[in-house]
């Protein structure tokens, strides 16, 4: 599939450039959407499954899937050539991708809050809005979820049950009292990091949260959030939940 990187990049550029017709502010495009190097990197990464969309044997779009566990996949970078819009290609392609993962019960994706085209499309596929992702300041993304099995329960650990050394945990709670960021130095390799502290609490208890780098700017005090892929540590006898820039940090709708 590497030989298709240039074609996919060209189509991606046309597709996302057309978002200007649906509310896109100037300069607000997905990172790497017009970079052949970035598309090729996604094609070659084992952690990303990059599907090309074909119509009559011709490449007309792409979909990227990142499996999170046996029953949960995250989807991103979905695009169809504007010349093939309104033909049902996007919806049919998603159905075909879902069929490749029959064991998956939970799908998530995000889309810019200003995009008036993707909202009805994803909701028409059955996705439900959970809240907001804020990867960049002033650029909110709507966080969507699709549960394909009514008996499936989203994994969430009550804060009061978090134990030291627990990894890849998911918690939901209200964030309070975010401190001013400070610079710390890694004892392992000497690199400098920007961190801030906060408290996250639910009905079962509270925990000190350590926000790293970009995660600091993704939430505000008082917001009800969901954290995925967090890591529990103990410092001076106190539990801490480490939240890095690659962990999911969503502001949930109440």
What are the structural domain ranges in the chain?
2-147, 159-252
Query: 55-88, pLDDT tens digit by residue?
Result: 999 999 999 999 999 999 999 999 999 999 999 9
Q: What percent of the chain has pLDDT over 70?
A: 96
The architecture CATH gives domain 2-147: 3-Layer(aba) Sandwich (3.40)
Q: Is the Cβ–Cβ distance between 113 and 119 less than 8 Å? A: no
Q: What are the pLDDT digits (tens) for 162-221? A: 999 999 999 999 999 999 999 988 777 888 989 999 999 999 999 999 999 888 989 999
Q: How far is Cα 107 from Cα 98, in angstroms, rounded to an integer? A: 9
Angstrom distance (rounded) from CA 247 to CA 254: 21
Q: Do domains 2-147 and 159-252 have the same CATH topology?
A: no
What integer pLDDT is reported at residue 185 of this predicted model? 83
pLDDT at 189 (0 to 100): 82
Q: Are the C-beta atoms of residues 169 and 232 closer than 8 Å to each other?
A: yes
Give the architecture (CATH level 2) of 159-252. Beta Barrel (2.40)
Q: Where are the alpha helices (DSSP H) in the chain?
A: 5-17, 36-44, 89-100, 118-124
Tokens of 211: 């926000």
Q: What is the pLDDT at residue 91?
A: 96
Residue 24, pLDDT > 70, answer no
Q: Which two tokens stand for residue 151?
A: 């008996």
Q: Which residues contact 243 (CB under 8 A, 6 or more apart)?
A: 209, 210, 211, 212, 215, 227, 230, 249
- Residue 179 contacts by C-beta under 8 Å, 6 or more apart in sequence? 196, 197, 198
Q: What is the pTM of this model?
A: 0.88
> Cα(219)–Cα(140) distance, rounded to whole angstroms?
11
Q: Mean pLDDT throughout 234-246?
A: 90
């Amino acid at each position: 599939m590497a030989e298709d990187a240039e074609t996919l990049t060209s189509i991606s550029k046309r597709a996302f450039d057309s978002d200007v017709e649906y509310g896109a502010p100037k300069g607000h495009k997905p990172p790497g959407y017009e970079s052949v190097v970035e598309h090729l990197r996604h094609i070659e990464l084992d952690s990303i499954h990059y599907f090309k969309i074909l119509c009559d044997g011709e490449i007309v779009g792409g979909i990227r899937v990142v499996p999170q566990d046996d029953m949960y996949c995250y989807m991103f970078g979905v695009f169809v050539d504007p010349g093939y819009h309104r033909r049902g290609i996007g919806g049919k392609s998603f159905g075909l991708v879902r069929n490749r993962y029959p064991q998956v019960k939970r799908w998530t994706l995000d889309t810019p809050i200003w995009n008036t085209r993707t909202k009805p499309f994803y909701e028409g596929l059955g996705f439900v809005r959970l809240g907001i992702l804020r990867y960049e300041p002033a650029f909110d993304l709507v966080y969507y979820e699709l549960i394909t099995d009514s008996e499936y329960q989203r994994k969430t650990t009550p804060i009061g049950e978090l134990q030291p050394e627990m990894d890849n945990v998911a918690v939901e709670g209200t964030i309070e009292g975010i401190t001013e960021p400070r610079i710390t130095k890694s004892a392992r390799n000497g690199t400098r990091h920007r961190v801030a502290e906060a408290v996250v609490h639910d009905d079962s208890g509270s925990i000190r949260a350590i926000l790293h780098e970009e995660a600091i700017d993704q939430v505000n005090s008082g917001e009800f959030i969901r954290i995925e892929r967090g890591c529990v540590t103990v410092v001076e006898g106190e539990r801490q939940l480490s939240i890095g820039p690659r962990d999911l940090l969503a502001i949930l709708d109440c």
